Amino acid sequence: MTSPSSSPIQNGYANLRDLMWSRSEKAIARKAFDAALKPELHEVIQEAKQMASQIQQPSDLWDLERYLTGRRKQIDREYDYRYSQLTLVFGKLLCESRLGEEELRGLRGAKLKSIRSYARFLAEMDAA
């Protein structure tokens, strides 16, 4: 396992809290974030519709509620739009192929480097 001192975040080209986001970068980030989130929400909607169409007893209703609550919590954890977290969020989405580098075009070098580094780190961790 990788030691904490070799984490891309600590070596990380820039302290994530110190990264400043320009107005244009914020617009790029929002567009990329929304583009990655949209199919995730579409999947939840489709699954919820299917589950709702099969409700026949009260317990089925609570199964749907548990599913929706669980997915909302998962999505809230994975899609954190705080600027201090966006490079990590984008790195994870990039690693999972839910976001492409072309959607991040226009972000400054330190941010892209941090995003790519974290994506590589996660890929290496998955491979280990």
Q: How do residues 61-73 score in pLDDT, each as one tens digit? A: 999 999 999 999 9
Q: Is residue 76 part of a domain?
A: yes
Q: What is the pLDDT of residue 128?
A: 87
Number of domains forming the structure of the chain: 1
Which domain does 42 fall in, by range?
Answer: 20-127
Is it the case that residue 13 has pLDDT exceeding 80? Answer: no
* pLDDT at 16 (0 to 100): 65
Give Cα 76 to chain centroid, integer Å: 9
For residues 18-39, give the mean pLDDT.
95
The per-residue pLDDT for range 65-100, each reduced to its tens digit, is: 999 999 999 999 999 999 999 999 999 999 999 999
Residue 12 falls inside a structural domain: no
Report yes or no on 40 lying in a domain. Answer: yes
